[in-house]
Amino acid sequence: MTETPASEPSVLTGTQDPEQPPGPQQPEPRLEPALLIDVQLEHLNPHQRARLPAMADLQRWALAALDPRLSPRHARIVWPAELTIRITDEAESAELNQRYRNRAGPTNILSFAFEPPPGLDLAEPACDGIGGLLGDLVICAPLVQREAAEQGKTETAHWAHLVVHGTLHLLGFDHMTTTEAAPMEALEMRILGALGFPSPYEVNDDANGERRRI
């Protein structure tokens, strides 16, 4: 099932009389960040679907991770931006994980940054490699739900983290090395903190009542 887009493709601020040329003091209309999300739900039973986050939440979390003020890389995003979030089961997640990462078993999220085919003339040109077409996120709903319970998190907090995490991957952030991981994790914690969520890399330790890193 494909959800309808959560927002209009673009939002313009500023008005101008089409019959009058802009005066020297009149600012040009400014394109505000707007995000078009295609949500695909595949191979999920009714119970799993009932526990999914709302479309408005997916929209809010992804937009938070795309805030142009976060980094120079974010400032190069072409707006309006588009991405796909495919929410699926463990079987499809495992198949994609094996095919594209050569790893067995399902994984909580896979990120596929958009790469235009050779010779494709995009309506919105990429800007330093980051254009309006961001790519695809594939999230394994049953695994997200299970991990949240195992890590002592709410499902909402875990979903928010994975959407933010995956969206940053689409922009080229990574965590394969310590040098890469530290700034990416700091950015995730900053974004999630602004959304009202605790650090995703710490959980409550029932033994002493303190938070510990996972």
pLDDT tens, residue by residue, 168-178: 999 999 998 88
Residue 100 maps to a domain? yes
Beta bridge partners of residue 138, listed in sequence order: 86, 110
| Cβ neighbours for 182, distance < 8 A, ≥ 6 positions apart | none
Closest of 47, 113, 43 to residue 83, by C-alpha: 113
Residue 24 maps to a domain? no
CB atoms within 10 A of CB 97: 19
CATH number where 66 lies: 3.40.390.30
Known binder of ligand: residue 43? no
* pLDDT tens figures, 35-72: 999 999 999 999 999 999 999 999 999 999 999 999 99
Query: What pLDDT score does 69 carry?
Result: 94
Query: What pLDDT score does 122 carry?
Result: 55
- Note down the domain range covering 203: 31-213
Residue 13 maps to a domain? no
Query: What pLDDT score does 30 carry?
Result: 46
* pLDDT tens figures, 109-131: 999 999 877 766 555 444 444 67
Q: Which of 1-5, 19-23, 103-107, 154-158 has the lowest mean pLDDT?
A: 1-5
Residue 3 maps to a domain? no
Residue 15 maps to a domain? no
Query: What pLDDT score does 118 carry?
Result: 72
Which contacts of 204-212 are long-range, i.e. CB under 8 A and separated by 24 or more positions? 204/152, 206/152
Residue 64 maps to a domain? yes
Query: What pLDDT score does 89 carry?
Result: 98
Residue 62 maps to a domain? yes
Rounded percentage of the chain residues whose pLDDT exceeds 90? 64
Query: What pLDDT score does 1 carry?
Result: 43
Query: What pLDDT score does 131 carry?
Result: 73
Max Cα–Cα distance, the chain, nearest Å: 71
In which band, very low, low, confident or very high, does the pLDDT at 2 lie, cut at 50, 70 and 90? very low
Query: What pLDDT score does 32 carry?
Result: 63
> What is the β-pairing status of strands 81-88 and 133-140?
parallel
Residue 50 maps to a domain? yes
Whether the Cβ atoms of residue 183 and residue 175 lie closer than 8 Å to each other: no
The arithmetic mean of pLDDT across residues 195-207, rounded, is 81
Residue type for 109, please? I
The arithmetic mean of pLDDT across residues 161-166, rounded, is 98
Task: Say how many domains are in the chain.
Answer: 1
> What is the β-pairing status of strands 11-13 and 30-32?
antiparallel
